[in-house]
Protein backbone atom coordinates (compact mmCIF):
# COMPACT_ATOMS: atom_id res chain seq x y z
CA UNK A 1 0.00 0.00 0.00
CA UNK A 2 1.49 3.35 -1.05
CA UNK A 3 1.05 6.09 1.52
CA UNK A 4 0.78 8.93 -1.00
CA UNK A 5 -2.85 7.93 -1.61
CA UNK A 6 -3.73 9.41 1.78
CA UNK A 7 -2.65 13.01 1.12
CA UNK A 8 -3.75 15.56 2.04
CA UNK A 9 -5.05 14.67 5.48
CA UNK A 10 -5.90 16.49 8.66
CA UNK A 11 -3.83 15.34 11.58
CA UNK A 12 -5.35 15.01 15.03
CA UNK A 13 -2.09 14.50 16.91
CA UNK A 14 0.41 17.18 17.80
CA UNK A 15 3.22 15.19 16.26
CA UNK A 16 6.59 16.93 16.23
CA UNK A 17 9.99 15.80 15.04
CA UNK A 18 12.38 15.06 17.90
CA UNK A 19 15.64 16.95 17.44
CA UNK A 20 19.13 15.84 18.44
CA UNK A 21 20.33 15.43 21.25
CA UNK A 22 17.02 14.05 22.63
CA UNK A 23 17.60 10.70 24.39
CA UNK A 24 14.80 8.97 22.47
CA UNK A 25 17.09 9.04 19.42
CA UNK A 26 19.64 6.76 21.10
CA UNK A 27 17.23 4.09 22.39
CA UNK A 28 16.65 0.76 20.66
CA UNK A 29 13.01 0.46 19.57
CA UNK A 30 10.56 -2.28 20.56
CA UNK A 31 8.85 -4.55 18.00
CA UNK A 32 5.34 -3.69 16.82
CA UNK A 33 2.99 -6.35 18.18
CA UNK A 34 -0.30 -5.38 16.52
CA UNK A 35 -1.14 -3.84 13.16
CA UNK A 36 -4.51 -2.17 13.71
CA UNK A 37 -6.41 0.98 12.74
CA UNK A 38 -4.69 3.02 15.45
CA UNK A 39 -1.27 2.08 14.06
CA UNK A 40 -2.42 2.81 10.49
CA UNK A 41 -3.63 6.26 11.58
CA UNK A 42 -0.28 6.90 13.27
CA UNK A 43 1.56 5.91 10.07
CA UNK A 44 -0.57 8.21 7.91
CA UNK A 45 0.10 11.13 10.26
CA UNK A 46 3.81 10.25 10.39
CA UNK A 47 3.84 10.25 6.59
CA UNK A 48 2.12 13.66 6.49
CA UNK A 49 4.71 15.06 8.92
CA UNK A 50 7.53 13.68 6.76
CA UNK A 51 6.06 15.26 3.61
CA UNK A 52 5.44 18.58 5.39
CA UNK A 53 9.12 18.64 6.36
CA UNK A 54 10.47 17.58 2.94
CA UNK A 55 11.81 14.28 4.24
CA UNK A 56 12.70 11.16 2.26
CA UNK A 57 11.99 8.89 5.19
CA UNK A 58 11.08 9.02 8.86
CA UNK A 59 11.20 6.57 11.75
CA UNK A 60 8.77 6.33 14.67
CA UNK A 61 11.49 7.24 17.23
CA UNK A 62 11.85 10.59 15.47
CA UNK A 63 8.45 11.54 16.88
CA UNK A 64 9.12 9.97 20.27
CA UNK A 65 7.39 6.63 19.60
CA UNK A 66 9.69 3.76 20.55
CA UNK A 67 8.49 1.17 18.00
CA UNK A 68 10.19 -0.56 15.07
CA UNK A 69 8.49 1.21 12.19
CA UNK A 70 9.52 3.67 9.51
CA UNK A 71 8.50 5.14 6.17
CA UNK A 72 10.82 4.96 3.15
CA UNK A 73 10.61 5.46 -0.65
CA UNK A 74 8.60 2.89 -2.62
CA UNK A 75 9.67 1.49 -6.01
CA UNK A 76 7.52 3.97 -7.91
CA UNK A 77 8.83 7.53 -7.83
CA UNK A 78 6.99 9.85 -5.45
CA UNK A 79 5.42 7.05 -3.43
CA UNK A 80 6.33 5.78 0.01
CA UNK A 81 5.71 2.66 2.03
CA UNK A 82 5.76 1.64 5.66
CA UNK A 83 8.21 -0.93 7.05
CA UNK A 84 7.09 -2.62 10.27
CA UNK A 85 9.58 -4.71 12.27
CA UNK A 86 12.11 -4.43 9.43
CA UNK A 87 15.32 -6.42 9.11
CA UNK A 88 18.31 -6.26 6.80
CA UNK A 89 19.02 -9.88 5.89
CA UNK A 90 21.95 -9.43 3.49
CA UNK A 91 24.25 -6.61 2.35
CA UNK A 92 26.51 -6.05 -0.64
CA UNK A 93 30.25 -5.76 -0.13
CA UNK A 94 30.28 -2.56 -2.16
CA UNK A 95 29.65 0.67 -0.26
CA UNK A 96 28.89 4.13 -1.57
CA UNK A 97 29.81 7.45 0.05
CA UNK A 98 27.05 10.05 -0.38
CA UNK A 99 25.56 13.04 1.46
CA UNK A 100 22.81 12.31 3.97
CA UNK A 101 20.48 14.57 5.88
CA UNK A 102 18.13 13.81 8.75
CA UNK A 103 14.92 15.44 9.96
CA UNK A 104 16.26 15.25 13.53
CA UNK A 105 19.30 17.31 12.43
CA UNK A 106 17.81 20.16 10.38
CA UNK A 107 20.27 21.80 7.98
CA UNK A 108 23.00 19.18 8.44
CA UNK A 109 24.23 17.04 5.57
CA UNK A 110 27.24 14.77 5.96
CA UNK A 111 28.85 12.17 3.71
CA UNK A 112 28.04 8.67 4.97
CA UNK A 113 29.24 5.35 3.57
CA UNK A 114 26.38 2.83 3.11
CA UNK A 115 25.96 -0.55 1.42
CA UNK A 116 25.08 -0.14 -2.27
CA UNK A 117 22.40 -2.83 -2.12
CA UNK A 118 20.67 -4.74 0.66
CA UNK A 119 18.14 -7.52 1.01
CA UNK A 120 15.38 -6.68 3.48
CA UNK A 121 12.30 -8.13 5.12
CA UNK A 122 9.48 -6.15 6.72
CA UNK A 123 5.74 -6.20 7.32
CA UNK A 124 3.44 -3.74 5.56
CA UNK A 125 0.29 -2.07 6.92
CA UNK A 126 -1.73 -5.20 6.12
CA UNK A 127 0.63 -7.28 8.28
CA UNK A 128 1.98 -9.09 5.21
CA UNK A 129 5.72 -9.75 5.10
CA UNK A 130 7.69 -8.50 2.12
CA UNK A 131 11.21 -9.53 1.11
CA UNK A 132 12.99 -7.44 -1.50
CA UNK A 133 16.37 -6.27 -2.68
CA UNK A 134 16.93 -2.51 -2.50
CA UNK A 135 19.45 -0.41 -4.43
CA UNK A 136 20.39 3.24 -4.61
CA UNK A 137 18.43 5.79 -2.61
CA UNK A 138 15.95 3.17 -1.36
CA UNK A 139 18.80 1.10 0.12
CA UNK A 140 20.41 4.20 1.64
CA UNK A 141 17.14 5.42 3.16
CA UNK A 142 16.28 1.96 4.54
CA UNK A 143 19.70 1.72 6.24
CA UNK A 144 19.37 5.25 7.66
CA UNK A 145 15.91 4.56 9.11
CA UNK A 146 17.03 1.15 10.46
CA UNK A 147 19.76 2.99 12.33
CA UNK A 148 17.09 5.12 14.03
CA UNK A 149 15.33 1.96 15.23
CA UNK A 150 18.62 0.77 16.71
CA UNK A 151 19.38 4.04 18.53
CA UNK A 152 21.99 5.15 15.99
CA UNK A 153 22.02 8.59 14.35
CA UNK A 154 23.80 9.21 11.06
CA UNK A 155 26.60 11.13 12.79
CA UNK A 156 27.47 7.94 14.68
CA UNK A 157 28.67 6.57 11.31
CA UNK A 158 31.44 9.21 11.21
CA UNK A 159 34.86 9.14 12.83
CA UNK A 160 35.04 10.93 16.20
CA UNK A 161 36.85 13.86 14.61
CA UNK A 162 34.42 14.24 11.69
CA UNK A 163 31.46 13.93 14.09
CA UNK A 164 32.87 16.62 16.39
CA UNK A 165 33.51 18.99 13.46
CA UNK A 166 30.04 18.36 11.96
CA UNK A 167 28.31 18.96 15.31
CA UNK A 168 30.27 22.17 15.91
CA UNK A 169 29.33 23.54 12.47
CA UNK A 170 25.70 22.45 12.90
CA UNK A 171 25.35 24.07 16.35
CA UNK A 172 26.89 27.29 15.05
CA UNK A 173 24.49 27.32 12.09
CA UNK A 174 21.50 26.67 14.41
CA UNK A 175 22.53 29.55 16.70
CA UNK A 176 22.72 31.92 13.73
CA UNK A 177 19.23 30.85 12.59
CA UNK A 178 17.65 31.54 16.00
CA UNK A 179 18.94 35.12 16.18
Residues recognised as catalytic: 145
Q: 3-class DSSP state for residue 124? A: coil
Distance CA 18, CA 60 (A): 10
Q: What number of other Cβ atoms are within 10 A of residue 82's Cβ?
A: 26
Distance CA 16, CA 46 (A): 9
| Main-chain phi, psi angles of 135, to 5 degrees | -135, 165
For residue 155, give Cα distances in angstroms to 7, 47, 55, 129, 172. 32, 24, 17, 31, 16
Strands of the sheet with 80-91, listed across from one edge: 58-59, 69-73, 80-91, 117-123, 129-135
Amino acid sequence: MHLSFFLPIKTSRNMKIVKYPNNVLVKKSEPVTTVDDELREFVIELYQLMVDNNGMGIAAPQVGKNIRLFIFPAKSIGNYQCAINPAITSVSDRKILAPEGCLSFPDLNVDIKRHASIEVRYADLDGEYITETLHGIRARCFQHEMDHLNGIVHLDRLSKTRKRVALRKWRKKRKLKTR
